Structure 1
Amino acid sequence: MTNFIFALFPDEASARAGLEAFELLHVAGDITLFNHAIVQRGMDGTLVVLERETAPIGSGVGALIGGTAGLFGGLAGLGIGAATGGIIGAVLDLFNLGVSKEFLSSICKELVPGKTAVFAEASEEWITLVDARVEAFGGSVIRAARDDFIEDEIRKRVVRLKREVAARRAEFAARRTEKRLHALHEVVLRSEENLRKAALDAARHIEQYREESDAKLKALHDQLQSASPATKARIEQRIIDLQTDQKQRLAKIHDALRLAREAMEA
C-alpha cells in the first residue's frame, strides 16, 4: 500500500536521524521510499524545506508540501503562499493528491512553529516498522493512503457536464423561435466548452499519473534487483499492487474521456 507519511520530530537532528532510518528500511527492502523531504515550520508560520529528494517521483510529496504550505501562509524560498493565491492552489493540490481532510487537519494541528517533520511517500506492508523507528527518536507518525477519489470526481464531473450539454442542446432545439435564441445558443456553447476543458483535464491527469506510477514501478524494480530472498516476495507484491492500482485508476479516467467524446460527437 502506498501511503503518505508525516513524521513529526522534536528537532531537526531527530528528523534527520528518522529519515536515515527510513532510508535503511528502504535498502533492506522492508519499505519502498519513493520521495521525501524534511521541513521545518518557522516561528512566522511558514515552512522551510531543509532537505528534499523528490526526483524523479516528486509529484506526491512536492504537492503535499506545497499544498500544506499554502494553507499555512507560505513556503520560504519558493514563493508559494497566500499572497499568490496559495490557499486556492493548496486546496486543489491536496484534492488532486487524494488526501483526506482528517489527514490535513492533523498536519495543521501538529506542525506548530518550531517543529520539524519528515514528509514521505512510501509503499509499506507493516506500519510498525516505520513507527518504531520514529518513536525511537522521540517522534510520532500520521499516515494516509492515497485515495483514488480524484479519478472518481473527474468521471462524475464529465458525467454531469455531459448531461448539462444534452439538456442545453435540447432546450435550444425546443425554443429556437424565441427572442432569447442567441443567448441560449451562447449557453450551449459555454456548456460544450466546459465539457472540453474537463476532457483536457482528464487527459492531463492520465499523462501525469502514468508518468508518476511508471517511475514508481521503476523504483520498485530497481529495488528488487538488490533485494534479499526474504524481501523479494514482498517487493514483487508491491509491484503487483501498484500495477493493479494503476489499471483501475486509468480505467476510470479513460471512461470519462469516452463519455466526453460521446457528448461532443452527438
Structure 2
Amino acid sequence: MEKMVVVVFDSESGAYNGLNAIKQLHQQADLAVFAVAVIAKDADGTVNVRQSADPGPIGTLFGACLGGLIGILAGPAGVAAGMTGGYVGGAMGDLDRMGINLEFLDDVSRVLTPGKAALVAHVDEYWTTPLDTAMQPLGGTVFRKVRSEVVDEQIDRDIRETQAELQALQEEYDAAAAEQKAKIQAKMDATRTKLQTKIDAANKWMKDAEQQAESKVAVLKDQAKAASDKQKAQIEKQVNEIQANLAKRQEKLKQSAASVREALTV
C-alpha cells in the first residue's frame, strides 16, 4: 500500500539514523522506498530540506509535495487546523496530488517543533511492524497517510461539471430568441474551450501517472532481485496492483475523453 510517511526525531542526527534504517528496510524488502528526504525545523521555525534523493518522475512529484509540506510545517504547531476546508488548493499545492490532507499535516506540525528534524518518505509498505520496530529505538515518531488519487476524482468532477454547463447552454440556445443566440453562442464557445483545456490537462496528468507507475515498477523489480521467495511474491503482488490501478485510471480517462469529444462536436 502506497503511503506518505513522516518520522519525527528530536535531532538531525536522529533523522539521519532513521534514513539509514529505512534504506536498510528497503534492501531487506520489508518495504519499498520510492523517494525520501530529511527536513529540519530551525529555532526560528524555518523548515529546510537537508537531504533529498530524486529518482526520476517519482522524485519530481515528491519534490513538489515536499515544497508544499515545508510551507505548511513552517507555521506554528496546529496551524493546519485553522485553515479552511479538507483540501485547500492554494495552501496545499501539489500535496493534493499525493492525497495528503490537513489533518495529517496538523498531526505532524504538533510534533515537529523547532530544533527537531524529520524523515519524509514515499513508500510502498506491506505491513507496519518493520518500520515501527526500526524507528522506535531511534526515538522516531511515525506518521502515515495512505495515498489516494484525489486529483483523479477532481479532474473527473471538473470535466463532468463543465459538460453539464455546456449542455445547459445548448438547451438555452435552442430555446432562445434569435436576438439572444449570438450571446449564448459566445458562452458556448468559451465553455468548449474550457472543456478542451480540462481534457488536455487530464491527458498530461495521466502521462505523468504512467511515468510514475513505470518508475515504481522498476524500483520494485530491482528490489525483488535480492528478495526471498515470500518477499518476491509480495513484490509481484504490488507490481500487479500498480499496473491494474493504472489501467483502471487510463480506462476512466478514455471514457471521459470520448464523452468530451462527443460534447465538442455538438
* TM-score, structure 1 normalization: 0.88
Superposition pairs of residues 46-195 of structure 1, within 5 angstroms: 46-56=46-56, 57-72=58-73, 90-178=91-179, 180-195=180-195
Deviations for 1:182-208, whole angstroms, at most 9, x for unmatched residues?
Answer: 432222122112111110110011111
Please list every run of 5 or more consecutive structure 1 residues that lacks an aligned counterpart in the other structure.
75-86
Q: In structure 1, what is the Cα distance between the partners aligned to 2:112 and 2:258?
A: 43
User: Are 1:70 and 1:89, in contact at CA under 8 Å, matched by a contact in 2?
Assistant: no
Cα distance in 1 between the residues matched to 2:110 and 2:69: 12
SS at match of 1:241: helix
Are 1:213 and 2:229 an aligned pair? no
2: CA distance, partners of 1:30 / 1:71: 30
- How large is the Cα RMSD of the aligned pairs? 2.0
1:89 deviation in Å? 5.1
What does 1:248-259 correspond to in 2, within 5 Å? 248-259=248-259
2:25 and 2:73 map into 1 onto residues whose CA distance is 31
Q: Does 1:14 align with 2:14?
A: yes
Match of 1:39 in 2: 39
Letter in 2 for 1:162: Q
**Aligned-partner Cα distance in 2 for 1:158–1:116:** 41
Contact 2:41–2:74 under 8 Å retained in 1: no
Residues 3 and 88 of structure 1, relative CA distance in 2, 3 Å threshold = closer
Give the Cα separation in 2 of the matches to 1:226 and 1:247.
Answer: 28
Whole-angstrom distance in 2 between the partners of 1:185 and 1:28: 62
Cα distance in 1 for partners of 2:185, 2:219 equals 51
Q: Are 1:39 and 1:119, in contact at CA under 8 Å, matched by a contact in 2?
A: yes
CA contact (8 A) 1:159 1:259 kept: no
Name the CA distance, whole Å, in 1 between partners of 2:156 and 2:263: 13
Q: How many residues align?
A: 253
Residues 69 and 90 of structure 1 are in contact (CA less than 8 Å); yes or no, is this contact kept in structure 2? Answer: no
**SS of alignment partner, residue 211 of structure 2:** helix
Counterpart CA distance in 2 for 1:113 and 1:182 is: 61
Query: What SS does structure 1 have at the residue aligned with 2:170?
Result: helix
Tell me how far apart the structure 2 counterparts of residues 48 and 3 of structure 1 sit (CA, whole Å).
22
Q: Residue 80 of structure 2 aligns with which residue?
A: none
Percent identity between the aligned chains?
28
